[in-house]
Every structure is written in structure tokens, then in C-alpha cells.
Amino acid sequence: MKILQLCKKFPYPLKDGESIAVTHLSRALRELACEVTLLSMNTSKHFCEMEQLPPTYNHYKAIHTVDVDNRIRPWGAFWNLFSSTSYHVSRFITKEFKAKLIELLQTQEFDIIQLETVYLAPYIPVIRAHTAAPVVMRAHNVEHEIWERVANNSHFFKKKYLNYLTAQLKRYEIEQLQNYDLLVAITKRDLELFRRLGYKNRAMVTPVGIERDKYIPDYKSFRQVPSISFIGALDWMPNQDGLKWFLDNVWPSLSRKHPKLELHVAGRHTPRDILQLDIPNVTIHGEVPDAKDFINQHSIMIVPLLSGSGIRVKILEGMALGRVVVTTSVGMEGIDARNGKEIMIADSVEAFIDCIDTCMLHKKRLQKIGHQARYLIEQEFDNIEIASKLAGTYRKLIKKDTREHPSPISNPS
């Protein structure tokens, strides 16, 4: 089976959830004898030097990239106020990417065209014009829902502007729903929401798979004084907002109760105002060389998300490494974990403090939660098993498409 995978940013390094989700699935499909070709934007915001790819990044049959300048420009954002086009989406529409896509479709045959996120939907008419291959939308999130939640947690003027942009994005996301032959949602909840918004075609839930053999828990930290980690891409607004909320509202009371407790913050693209924070017992590391090593050093991992959608890959990574993850109800969406068993849920300042109090006082219970979290990942998020189900659905889709659009039979001469 030949798959053309389209991405709005190059899926390396594996420093954010989207890159991990794309890479883990494509690796698993390769192990299942699928041939995956990547066509990716290489954006100014997440630019990747191709010569720095490690030799182990070899699961693609071929990699094609197109440089895209997707920087947010004040004038572009201003003029968009007078446009009906979604500003979120318009930054990923380029004639160069379109031209490369046409070239690939004209020179090669693919069985499946897999789009990673709705930001690739503008290219569906191009795909339809050059191939009969089914179009699959892998929806990492319900995109407009993320921005609705961000807007709700913003101050007045920012909230007004974000609500305007979100309305554009929501309208576009709904308009595109009937253009997919298969919708692959990350969580059951997301799929149910897409159905309520009007999606009627074939669909399935395919969570982010974890390559569990690459996540080796180190339980030594449970024998030490507990410490807390936060890690996430800090150019993503929900991560920024959640971290700032925790530092402003939870940390002052928590550090007074536990004066030896340390919080370690890591994240790619950490903004200057966060890097310059000077808070007792809080260390801002910026980008760290190895996320798994960083997570393993601390027995507690916080994910104080107030907004977002889809599934939080960093939570899956923390659980795969046997950490005690303390997160919100928003953070654990899509993860069928039990509060106090495999995860700890906190939706208020008081709840966060209570959860971490429990962690500080009950080390044995802490390690038990970590073990149970690891077991849950092994049972429900195995990468190969998840990819195998998706590949099976692809084969059925291809057969169905062939029956409905049979190849023309040449007349004998």
C-alpha cells in the first residue's frame, strides 16, 4: 500500500505532540509493509535543517519539503478582519506547495492520500483533480475548539479578536467535513463532536501510538524527595496559558507548604518572558536535549491545561515513563485513565495543591500510580496495534473505492 502523507510542518525533531504523532504512526506503517512518502511544509516557525536528520529517521520511502513562510504578520492579521477566509488556514496556502503536490501526483501513483490536520484541506481540490485515491483526514484535534477555549481564558480585547478568528476557523472546519473519504479522529470524544457538527462519511478513532520499547521508566526519582516537571512546546498558547496559571495561582501556596519542593520547566521555543522568570525553587531549562531523560528525573509531572483538544502526547509519554501525571479534565481527554489509579485530576487551585500534597506524603502510592500508568499505556496505546487497525481500514477503503471507480477496460484491437 502506497501512502502520500501531507504535513503542515516537518515532523522532526520529536519535541511536540504533532511531530511525535506523525512520526510514530508513519514508522509503524512502515513496519507493516506500507510505503509512505512524505510531502511536508518546512515552515519558518518550525524550520528543520534536512541535513541534520539522524540516520535512524529512515522510515519514509521519500521525503519532499517545501519552504513556507508562515509567520504571523500584524498587517496580515489586521487585513484578515475584512476577509471571510480563516487566517489560521490561509498561512498554509502556497503556490509552491501546490506545485510540488501536483508534481508528485502526476509522476507517482498512491493508494491513500493522508492529510495531517485540517490545515491541509485547501489542497483537496488539487488532489481530486489529479488522483482517484481516497482522501483521509487525520484530525489531531478539533481545531476551533482549542481556540474557543483559549479565547475563554483571555482578557477582554484579546478574547474579542480570538473569538473572531475562531468563528472563521470553525466555519472552515465544518465546511470541509464532507470532503473526506475517511476521517481519522484521535479520540472518541473528538469523533462524536465531528459527527454532531455534520460529518456523515466513514470514520474511525486512532489514538496516538507509543513506541513503548523506547520509553524506559527510571523509578529512582521515587526514592528521592519528590520534584515536579513541566514540559511542552511553549510556542503553543494553551501550554503557555496553563503554565502561567499554575505559577501565578498554585505555586505560591504550594511552595509555602513544601519549601523544599522544586519545579523544573522545559519547553521548545520558550518565550523570553518565561526564560527570565525568577521564582524561588523554579528552574526554567528552555529546550532540553532529551525529553525522556528530563521527565524521568522527576516523579511528578504537571499538565495544567485549561484549553486544548485531541490527546496530549506529553501525558502519554509521562505515563509510559511511569510518572505520576497531575492534569486537568481537559488535559486527560481521550485517555481512559482513572483518577487516583493511573493519573491524578485537578481542576482548581485547591485540587492541584491537594494532589501534590498526596504525592509528597505517600511515596509508595506514588510509585504504584506510576506502574499502573505504564501498564495502561502498554495495553491501550501500542503503536503497532493502532497502526495495524488503521492499515486494515485503508485496505477496505481502497477496495471500496476500486469497486465504485473501476479502471477502464481497453477494447481489444
The least confident of 17-31, 297-311, 376-390 is: 297-311
Q: Using alpha carbons only, what angle is made at residue 340 by residues 336 and 345, rounded to the nearest 5 degrees?
A: 70
Q: Which residues contact 172 (CB under 8 A, 6 or more apart)?
A: 85, 86, 89, 118, 121
pLDDT above 70 for 401:
no
Distance separating alpha carbons of residues 277 and 295, to the nearest angstrom: 21
Distances (CA, A) of 42 to 48, 66, 92, 215: 7, 6, 11, 28
Q: Is the pLDDT of residue 123 over 50?
A: yes
User: What angle, 0 to 180 degrees and rounded to 10, lies between the N-to-C axes of helices 363-380 and 313-320?
Assistant: 120
How many Å from the N-terminal Cα to the C-terminal Cα in the chain? 32
Structural domain boundaries in the chain: 2-209+383-404, 213-380
CATH of domain 2-209+383-404: 3.40.50.2000
Q: What is the pTM of this model?
A: 0.85
Given pLDDT bands bounded at 50, 70 and 90, which one contains residue 182? very high
Are the folds of 2-209+383-404 and 213-380 the same?
yes
Q: Are 247 and 302 in contact (CB under 8 A)?
A: no
pLDDT of amino acid 17: 86
Looking at domain 213-380, does it have CATH number 3.40.50.1000?
Answer: no
pLDDT, tens digit, 9 for 90 and up, residues 224-274: 889 999 999 898 888 999 999 999 999 999 999 999 999 999 998 899 999
Of 182-196, 226-240, 282-296, 298-312, least confident by mean pLDDT is 298-312
C-beta separation of 144 from 308 below 8 A: no
Polymer length in residues for the chain: 413
Phi then psi for residue 106, to 5 deg, are -80, -25
Nearest-angstrom CA–CA distance, 117 and 120: 6
d(CA 313, CA 290): 15
More confident residue, 196 or 146: 196
pLDDT at 402 over 70: no
What does the pLDDT look like over 201-229, one tens digit per residue? Answer: 999 999 999 998 999 999 988 888 899 99
pLDDT on residue 158 = 76
